[in-house]
Structure formats: structure tokens, C-alpha cells
Amino acid sequence: MFVVISILILIVSVLMVLIVLVQNSKGGGLASNFSASNQFMGVRQTADFLEKATWTLAIAILVLSLAAAMAIPKFNAVPGLMDTELRQQIEQTAPVNFQAPPANPDED
């Protein structure tokens, strides 16, 4: 589930980048290129559509991010299991005998 949500976040992010790049900060953008008199959508309708699409995609990223945070796989499904396994590994390892280094390295 986490992978599916991550892929959806990636797709929505790419769409958002494309929508933002199409917009013009001064109100023109893609809408100004299609200003013919016989067009289906006017300049204002295109700008409204792009703005609504931007807000919709931003909300979608927010919701998908929250869903991804809840869907992150939990590795410690059983409480204390990881601690027990780690404790067993520590107890099974043989102790290593370390020799203390000489007090004065020149006395070797």
C-alpha cells in the first residue's frame, strides 16, 4: 500500500509541476496563447481552471502524504520482539578478550 501511495504522490507532483509551469505569474500563461474569438474556454476560464487544478493537486499531495505516513510498514509489529532478538544475539556472541595497551608506548 505504501508503494502505491508513493507512486501516486510522484504522479501528482509531476502534474503539479506541469500545471504551475503552464501558468503565468502575471495572469497570461497558456491562457494568453488561446485568445481567439471562437474558443470554447476564454482566458479567464482557463486561468480559473489552472488555479483550481493547482489547489486540487496541492490538497491531493497533502492527503496522500498523510496516508503515506499512516501506511509506512511497521517492522516491530510485536512489541518487544526486536528487543528480544537483539538481546539473544548479544548473549550468543563470544566475549572478546582485549589486552590493554602498554602504559608507555616506548617501553615495548
Per-residue pLDDT of the chain (108 residues; tens, 9 = 90+): 888 999 999 999 999 999 988 887 665 555 555 555 445 555 567 778 888 999 999 999 999 999 998 888 766 555 555 567 777 777 777 666 767 777 776 665
- The rounded distance, in Å, linking the Cα atoms of 13 and 3 is 15
Q: What is the pLDDT of residue 82?
A: 58
pTM: 0.53
- The rounded distance, in Å, linking the Cα atoms of 72 and 77 is 12
Residues recorded for the chain? 108
Q: What is the pLDDT of residue 37?
A: 47
Q: What is the pLDDT of residue 42?
A: 54
Cβ atoms of 61 and 9 closer than 8 Å: yes
Q: What is the pLDDT of residue 92?
A: 77
